[in-house]
């Protein structure tokens, strides 16, 4: 047995091993292995996208948690005739946080999708 370099992660692996112990990529894959790799990659991709989707829901929930009390203040302001200052309302931080999180997650989703399609 000798050590060779894994073609995909460049780490040392045994030349007898069929699968790299570091990155799980197949060495000299046959048709069956390629099929298995495809299924595995799809599952990884699907799980990743699912987690991202959950994160976008979380981001939206955070934004709503900030937005609702702001609207509540706004409604009260109309009732009592004072000026509601949204910039000073604590809800604005939650709205901004939710918005930023949402955008970041969408970027990661886009990159993951592009990566999956090119891979
Ligand atoms: Zn490897």
Mean pLDDT, the chain, integer: 90
User: For residue 119, what pLDDT is reported?
Assistant: 65
Q: Per the domain annotation, does 76 fall within a domain?
A: yes
Instruction: Read off the pLDDT of each residue in 91-116 and give the average, rounded to a whole number.
Output: 95
- Cβ atoms 98, 70 nearer than 8 A: no
Could you read off the pLDDT of 20-58 as tens digits, one per residue?
888 888 877 888 888 988 898 899 999 999 999 999 999
Could you read off the pLDDT of 7-22 as tens digits, one per residue?
888 898 888 888 888 8
* 113 Cα: distance to centroid of ligand 1 (angstroms): 22
User: For residue 15, what pLDDT is reported?
Assistant: 85
Asked if pLDDT for residue 62 goes beyond 90, the answer is yes
* 108 Cα: distance to centroid of ligand 1 (angstroms): 24
Q: Per the domain annotation, does 86 fall within a domain?
A: yes
Tokens representing 101 are 């999180």
How many other C-beta atoms can be found within 10 angstroms of the C-beta atom of residue 85? 10
Q: Per the domain annotation, does 114 fall within a domain?
A: yes
Q: Per the domain annotation, does 21 fall within a domain?
A: no
Q: Per the domain annotation, does 14 fall within a domain?
A: no
* 66 Cα: distance to centroid of ligand 1 (angstroms): 45
* 26 Cα: distance to centroid of ligand 1 (angstroms): 8
Give the pLDDT band of residue 69 (cuts 50, 70, 90): very high
* Full domain range(s) for residue 114: 31-118
Enter the pTM of the model.
0.68
- Cβ atoms 102, 62 nearer than 8 A: no
- Cβ atoms 70, 95 nearer than 8 A: yes
Q: Per the domain annotation, does 93 fall within a domain?
A: yes
Give me the number of domains the chain comprises: 1
Q: Per the domain annotation, does 111 fall within a domain?
A: yes
């Amino acid at each position: 047995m000798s050590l060779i370099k894994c073609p995909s992660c460049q780490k040392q692996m045994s030349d007898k091993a069929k699968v790299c112990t570091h990155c799980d990529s197949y060495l000299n894959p046959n048709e069956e292995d390629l099929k298995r790799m495809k299924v595995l990659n799809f599952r990884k991709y699907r799980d990743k996208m699912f987690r991202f989707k959950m994160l976008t829901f979380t981001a939206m929930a955070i934004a709503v948690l900030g937005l609702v009390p702001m609207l509540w203040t706004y409604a009260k302001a109309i009732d009592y005739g004072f000026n509601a200052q949204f910039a000073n309302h604590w809800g604005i931080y939650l709205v901004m946080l939710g918005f930023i999180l949402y955008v970041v997650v969408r970027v990661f989703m886009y990159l993951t999708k592009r990566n999956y399609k090119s891979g």
